[in-house]
Structure 1
Amino acid sequence: MKRALRQSAFILMRELSWRFFGHKIDWRRLFLLAAVLTVSSILFQILVHRYLLNDQSPYENDSSHPSLNSSTTKEAILQQVRLSLPYSVILLNSSNEVVQSVSFESERAETRLNSSISRSKREEKLADATKHTRFSPPLGVPSYKQRHIQLLPPHEALVYAKKEIDNAPLVNEDPDLYASLFRNISVFKSYVKNHLESVLCLNFRSYELMETILKVYIYRDGARPIFHTPFLKGIYASEGWFMKLMEGNKQFVSKDPEKAHLFYLPYSARQMELALYVPGSHNLKPLSLFLRDYVNKIAAKYPFWNRTLGSDHFLVACHDWGPYTVTGHEELARNTIKALCNADPSEGVFVAGRDVSLPETTIRAPRRPLRHLGGNRVSLRPILAFFAGSMHGRVRPTLLKYWGGGNDADMKIYKRLPLKVSQRMTYIQHMKSSKYCICPMGFEVNSPRIVEAIYYECVPVIIADNFVLPFSEVLDWSAFSLVVAEKDIPKLKEILLSIPMRKYITMQNNVKMVQKHFLWNARPIRYDLFHMILHSIWYNKLNQIQSPQM
């Protein structure tokens, strides 16, 4: 290649010398011509070498050309590389040194080519793995449609979101989520078919609409520790973790209440119990009166409550007494969106479709909320069913009556786990070694064992009539759990044994897949527990909006 360039340059210079000999030379034109020739030769060499040695071959993604894995192709390219090397790499006195230098350059070129081939293999594997990946709209760079939505006044934005969800086309798959877990994944999340759709954001669903639109205003009023002090440990930790992550969030929180779609009342029912309840009094009225006075205060101080009578306000309370803390204020009890662990419509406070069922999570170590996550594979789960706990409520004594006492080796049902048993196998090890984990209600309908079972990859068996399951507006609980009526406790083993192994394996695999939606992360990630709770609040707010006329 370089020899041809040299010959061309020599001929050109000879022609120029002959033409300009004895004539007045226009040096400006000559310099311009020389510059053009120099740049052209440099660009030509760059293109040639890029074709030979670049990591991204022009034929890399073209199936009509042979792969670089072919030894014949590799040798051919190496031969071209060797021919393209300069004849005299370094001017040395010894011809042997010149040969060694040329050999060294050849080896370096071969090494680069091998590296390129290895990289090409890795990239081909990555391309195969992500060939069907669909990308969500980039949150950091909103499209024209996103910007348009974000500029809408709060109520108009909610009406728009409601219309989008009501007219969502059917979707049966999604690369980010497991469609079998959802009642209708078409409503929850869009299926972006290509990068162009992801840029244009043509198919928004409730989750993406939440990410694009939702702004929450958090009232700064309220004294600690009842307000703004999250309780992060124990069975009531869900309300504290949500408060912690909500108050630290920058994506959804707005400091301008006029731009907010929802208003958060940042109180802790657990902290309220510790601060106001008199042990042994059985009197919850001081708690409800305290919250009543707080709502009256913000209603008098700000215009936002009175605009909607509290229907765009929400609270999050995981304590069993959460529903009873709101009964002192009529509008608070009737209109506000309440995310409650005690999600029991029969008690007259929780309203399905408006209020949110909050998962009850036991956090033993706030610094490591995901400790002990995971469980044994199916072949290492010899126990058919397991439960151990206090005899609270009406269901657990019945469960113990029929299946306790250690009379059935398949059914490990205890009051509290006996010391001799726990020394051989801990509570957590029992859950990790059981096919089914029994989750009966206690004094109230919810139980932290439901989420514990999901953490330890054990299929939950839920025994609690009237319990509205968490995220049931989007999740299909029958795909990864079993709901048994209280009256069917005597037939519990028969019901469990009637489930074919193939179906059980599917359900247990679904438990693993749904786990991501029940995890607390110190820094929230998409579809985790923080986002799922917020989505349920957002979704139920949209339920209050009448569908626009077409």
Structure 2
Amino acid sequence: MNNKSSPFARIFLPHPDPTDPRVGNYFSEHAFKLALLRSPFVTQHPEKAHFFFMPFSINAMRNHPLLRSESSISDFVAKYVLRISTKFLFWNASGGADHFYVCCHSVGREAASKHITLRNNAIQLTCSSSYFQRLYSAHKDIALPQVWPRHSDEVLNPPNARKRFLHNQYKCWMENRSLRSLRQQLLNLWRNDTSFDIFSGHPSYPYEEGFRRSKYCLHVKGYETYLNLYRNLCMVRKHFKWHADPVSYDAFHMTAYQLWVRRGLHRLVT
């Protein structure tokens, strides 16, 4: 796919500007490819490779005048896999189990629908937050952080800076006051209901025990819980950031690690 004059070249080549807002929720798809090409994990000796990347872009296909539809995209991908399986020995050596591709959003998950071996064997890096998505196999596929394009130095606003939650300290105080009232109302309503374990502060038993014997937990907290989530988010944010030149522990390295733990495959032939 080195022929840049091919009408389908842009499907395989890196996006010229993955931070373009029009990329939308397909940003991670392009960011991964760009980071991979600039990482030290690419080899010019395929016999030494642990994995083989299939660089087609679902987003590029969605915007290609000759494709666009889900059916056309899955047809194109099936023909592409057929081509590499007849031209190169590496696909057949593992049945495609050491090959992977990247896709985001629902259209991407349909890409492998018309090639059974690709669907069942190849590793799918997909923007999915659920193990129960159709065509997602939890034992082999990898969830890719779905990130919208934005400036990397954008500061996360703390909860008290978000108009949606708190306009000022007065409103913060009023909300805490109303939550105290709500907690008291719940206590008054359910304190004598034996089907509930109701307590203020820490329970007399370990949390794990409570989770095991409960159907759900109602945690009536206010501003301090928004603030704790914000602090935790600041701590893990680096794992969801993409960089053109990969940085340790960023989204690319976290994804590459998930690939690495799936490397225990022995090829059938060499």
**TM-score calculated relative to the size of structure 1:** 0.35
Q: How far has the Cα of 1:512 moved from its partner?
A: 0.6
Q: For residues 214-242 of structure 1, give each alpha carbon's deviation from its aligned partner in whole angstroms, at most 9, with x where no partner exists.
A: xxxxx858841111232613221110011
- Shift in Å, 1:315: 0.5
Q: In structure 2, what is the equivalent of residue 353 of structure 1?
A: 139
Query: Are 1:370 and 2:159 counterparts?
Result: no
Look up the equivalent residue of 1:269 and give its one-letter code: I
Q: Hey, what does 1:389 align to over in structure 2? A: none
Residue 341, structure 1, aligned to residue 127, structure 2: yes
Verify the 8 A CA contact 1:276 1:286 in the aligned structure 2: no
Q: Which residue of 1 aligns with 2:99?
A: 313
Change (3 A) 1:284 1:503: closer
Preserved CA contact (<8 Å) 1:338 1:355: yes
How far 1:499 moved relative to its partner? 3.0
Write the deviation string for residues 273-297 of structure 1: whole angstroms up to 9, x where unpaired: 1115667xxx522111111111111
Give the aligned partner of residue 60 of structure 2: 271
Given the superposition, is the C-alpha separation of residues 516 and 498 from structure 1 closer, same or farther in structure 2, using an over 3 Å criterion? same
Q: Give the one of 57, 60, 77 matched to 1:291.
A: 77
State the partner residue of 1:509: 231
Give secondary structure in 1 for the equivalent of 2:102. Answer: strand
1:521 aligned partner: 243
Task: Determine if the alignment matches structure 1 residue 258 to structure 2 residue 40.
Answer: no
Query: In structure 2, what is the Cα distance between the partners aligned to 1:350 and 1:343?
Result: 11
Kindly indicate whether the alpha-carbon contact (under 8 Å) linking 1:343 and 1:350 is maintained by their aligned counterparts in 2.
no
RMSD: 3.0
Question: How far off its partner does 1:342 sit?
Answer: 3.8
Tell me, yes or no, if structure 1 residue 240 matches structure 2 residue 30: yes
Check the 8 A contact 1:517/1:529 in 2, yes or no.
yes
Instruction: Describe the superposition over 1:243-276 as per-residue Cα deviations: whole angstroms up to 9, x where unpaired.
Output: 1111222x10011000000100011100011115
* Cα distance between partner residues in 2 of 1:309 and 1:338: 15
Shift of 1:382: 6.2
Alpha-carbon distance in 2 for matches of 1:298, 1:363 = 32
* Cα offset, 1:373, TM superposition: 2.7
Pairwise CA distance, 1:340:
0.7
Provide the secondary structure at the position in 1 that maps to 2:105.
coil
Structure-2 separation of matches of 1:507 and 1:357: 22
The yes-or-no answer on 1:229 pairing with 2:19 is: no
Q: Which has the higher contact order (CA 8 A, sep 6+)?
A: 2
Larger of the two Rg values belongs to structure: 1
More helix by share: 1
Q: Determine the structure 1 residue equivalent to 2:179.
A: none
**Is residue 50–residue 263 contact of structure 2 (8 Å, CA) maintained in 1?**
no
C-alpha change, 1:361 and 1:526, in structure 2 (3 Å) is same
Tell me the equivalent position of 1:302: 88
**Contact map agreement 2:53 2:100 (CA 8 A) in 1:** yes
Give, in whole Å, the separation in 1 of the partners of 2:2 and 2:260.
21
- In 1, Cα distance between the equivalents of 2:116 and 2:65? 21
- Retained in 2: the 8 A contact 1:341–1:358? yes
Measured against aligned partners, the alpha-carbon deviations of 1:27-63 in whole angstroms (never above 9, x if no partner) come to: xxxxxxxxxxxxxxxxxxxxxxxxxxxxxxxxxxxxx
Cα distance in 2 for residues equivalent to 1:245 and 1:382: 36
Shift of 1:504: 4.7
Shift of 1:379: 4.6
1:287–1:225 Cα change, 3 Å: same
In the TM superposition, residue 520 of structure 1 has moved relative to its aligned partner by 1.6
Pairing 1:329-478 to 2, within 5 Å after superposition: 329-342=115-128, 344-364=130-150, 369-376=151-158, 378-381=159-162, 383-384=164-165
Q: CA deviation at 1:306?
A: 0.3
Q: Could you tell me whether the CA contact under 8 Å between 2:140 and 2:262 is conserved in 1? A: yes
- Superposed counterparts of 1:73-112, under 5 Å: none
CA separation of 1:284 and 1:352: change in aligned 2, threshold 3 A: same
**Structure 2: where are the runs of 5+ without partners?**
167-173, 176-215
Report if aligned partners of 2:35, 2:243 keep a CA contact under 8 Å in 1: no
Equivalent pair of 1:226/1:272 in contact (CA under 8 Å): yes
Q: Is the 8 A contact 2:38 2:244 kept in 1?
A: no
How far, CA to CA, are the matches of 1:311 and 1:236 in structure 2? 24
| Partner secondary structure for residue 236 of structure 1 | helix
- Give the superposition deviation at 1:500: 6.1
Deviation digits for residues 291-327 of structure 1 (CA, Å, limit 9, x no counterpart): 1111111111111000110000000111321110111
CA contact (8 A) 1:277 1:287 kept: no
Q: Once the two structures are superposed, what CA deviation does each residue of 1:81-118 show, in whole Å capped at 9, x if it has no partner?
A: xxxxxxxxxxxxxxxxxxxxxxxxxxxxxxxxxxxxxx
Cα distance change on mapping 1:382 and 1:512 into 2, 3 Å:
same
Instruction: Give the C-alpha shift of residue 505 in structure 1.
Output: 3.8
One-letter identity of the residue aligned with 1:292: A
Give the deviation of 1:343 after TM superposition: 5.1
CA distance in 1, matches of 2:256, 2:66: 29
- Unaligned 5+ runs, structure 1: 1-218, 386-408, 411-487, 489-493, 546-550
Give the C-alpha shift of residue 375 in structure 1: 1.5
Tell me by how many angstroms 1:501 deviates.
5.5
